[in-house]
Homo-oligomer: A and B are copies of this chain.
Amino acid sequence: MIAQGSDQVQTGQLRVALAQINPKVGDFAGNTRLILEYAGKAAQTGAHAVVFPEMILTGYPVEDLALRATFRSASQSALTELAHQLIDCGDVVSVVGYLDESEGRQPQNAVAFIHHGQVVASYKKHHLPNYGVFDEFRNFIPGTESLVVRIHGIDVGIAICEDIWQEAGLVPTLAARRPGLIIVPNGSPYERNKDDLRAALVQKRAREFDAPLLYVNMTGGQDDLVFDGDSIAVTSGGEIIARAPQFFDGLMVVDVDCASATSDPDVIISQECIGAYQKITHGIASRLSTEAEIWEALVVGLRDYVHKNGFPSVILGLSGGIDSAVTAAIAADAIGAEKVFGVAMPSKYSSQHSLSDAADSAERIGLNYRVLGIQPMVDAFLTHVGLKGLAEENVQARIRGTTLMGLSNQEGHLVLATGNKSELAVGYSTMYGDAVGGFAPIKDLLKSEVWRIARWRNKVALERGETPPIPENSISKEPSAELRPDQKDSDSLPEYEILDQILTIYIENDGGLQGLLDAGFDPDLAIRVIKMVDGAEYKRRQYPPGTKISLRAFGKDRRLPITSGWKEVRLE
């Protein structure tokens, strides 16, 4: 790196605090308190700057709230007020994401540099993701200017999240300005194994910028998204020097060596380089296993849906099967077993092991358990409405749903739906029956993943000397909806191991029939599964939200027509 107009590179040190924290969408007062708390902590560590995640002041994503003038105005006022309150943090520079407006009063995803009670500079995100779960091109207009701010002689360049994922645009523009340090606030939702992609990208970009890069991501759940933190600091050579634990709130403080006065900054906050000081020891948190990562995501997603929406407790049906047993265990890890209410609702088709496994699940977890037989209600429907066959099967599921909703109305619990992604994909669920709920914790987990994390969670319990929360019998027995005598899931579905491979190609990879044929699946089976998936779109539309963990979850991540004559074809 050659400083402009000089053959000699000056270097300086900077202590930067990365605030990996959990905001709540729209809660300006709460988010302000959180920012002040962490800015104060940062000041105590002697940090020169503290960097917060993307749109920390508004929470993220705000969706169409961005389109409302009152909301934009509140964000701008909250920023001014926050800046004023940050005076107490002394000389530290706070880098705070918020919602701003363009000159034409259009919404912009922005980051402010705040110093001595004033907003001294503001950057607007250039690249607005508009794929997958993101609608940013709908909600914001892009920024067009890069920003470099000099802090203690170091020229700090900024990019927001998607800005560094795009090769063209901001990255080369900013690189040409030769900043000495890059900071990147993010609102990057968790996806299975995404942390590996992130680290590789951050390393690559640091090398391209030839400058250290600090990547700050938020934590916590927001409807169907979970943010896993995973903040990262890398050197100009791309070496990871610090990495925060996943799904964990905290302040990661790093000392970085940066070339100074490398650029022509837009704003100078402070000219003088910091003299050499004793660096702190950095930590690199070890990565979670895939199972642990998924479990944490589901726990955090449910925990925040419950807490941020003010529910005192949750209720779910316990069938003795794997899905409800795993959901109950997640709920207990999320909010405590004493706030989890399980209800076994046997009908005449329920086997004895269903009831005993449900009771076992409740006892292992220590949740609140009751048994409410549904046969009197079923009989009333069969007699007075005259339902038979599939209608009789479904009415049982709907009476269970109505029972849970009744208890929810009466006792104030959030109802959890326990369906998994495999069932939801092929429509193997009853609308207004087992699909009832305000939140569906495992809706993005394939059945085989449900088994996998169940075994993992039990193993962890044993390692900790605790009772495994999921009954072994719920894991090992053959899945059945028990809505008619001797029913098995395999009566109408392929074995889950095969089904889940097909679903991964068809849904997660959007492979179409051709993708399944290329992978060697039998054409008749492939077409049968595709028909089931396509035909169940209307059911998914009315399904509750639940935590996204895959590359492509149902919901806003995958937007397909219900009315459709499309039949998958082989490519020519």
Extra pairs beyond A26-B566, A391-B410, A398-B405 (19, CB < 8 Å): A30-B565, A63-B560, A65-B560, A65-B566, A67-B510, A70-B571, A130-B138, A131-B138, A305-B563, A308-B565, A376-B383, A386-B410, A387-B406, A391-B409, A398-B432, A399-B402, A401-B432, A541-B545, A542-B542
Instruction: Kindly state the separation between the CA atoms of A218 and B121 in the bound complex, as whole angstroms.
Output: 49
Residue positions of A touching B, CB distance < 8 A: 24-30, 59, 61-65, 67-71, 73-74, 77, 130-131, 135, 137-138, 221-223, 304-305, 308-309, 372-374, 376-377, 379-381, 383-391, 394-395, 398-399, 401-403, 405-407, 409-410, 431-432, 436, 438, 510, 512-514, 538, 541-545, 556, 558-572
With A and B bound together, what is the CA distance between A69 and B343 in angstroms? 46
Known contacts being A70-B513, A390-B409, is A308 close to B432, with CB within 8 Å? no
What B residues does A222 contact at CB under 8 A? Answer: 561, 563
Residues of chain B lying within 8 A (CB to CB) of residue A405 = 394-395, 398, 431-432
- Number of copies of this chain in the oligomer? 2
**Which residues of B lie under 8 Å from residue A561 when comparing CB positions?**
25-26, 61-63, 65, 222-223
Chain B residues near A68 (CB-CB < 8 A): 510, 512
Q: How far, in angstroms, from A409 to B398 measured CA to CA in the complex?
A: 12
A-B residue pairs in contact (CB < 8 Å), sample of 26: A24-B563, A24-B565, A26-B564, A26-B566, A27-B564, A30-B565, A63-B559, A63-B561, A69-B514, A70-B570, A73-B572, A74-B569, A135-B138, A221-B563, A222-B563, A223-B561, A373-B384, A376-B383, A376-B384, A380-B380, A381-B402, A389-B410, A391-B409, A394-B405, A394-B409, A542-B544
Contacts of A26 in B (CB 8 A): 561, 564-567
**Nearest chain B residue, comparing its CB with the CB of A64:** B559
Residue of B nearest to A430 (CB): B405
Chain B residues in 8 Å Cβ range of A27: 564-566
Instruction: Give the Cβ gap from A48 to chain B, nearest Cβ, in Å.
Output: 31
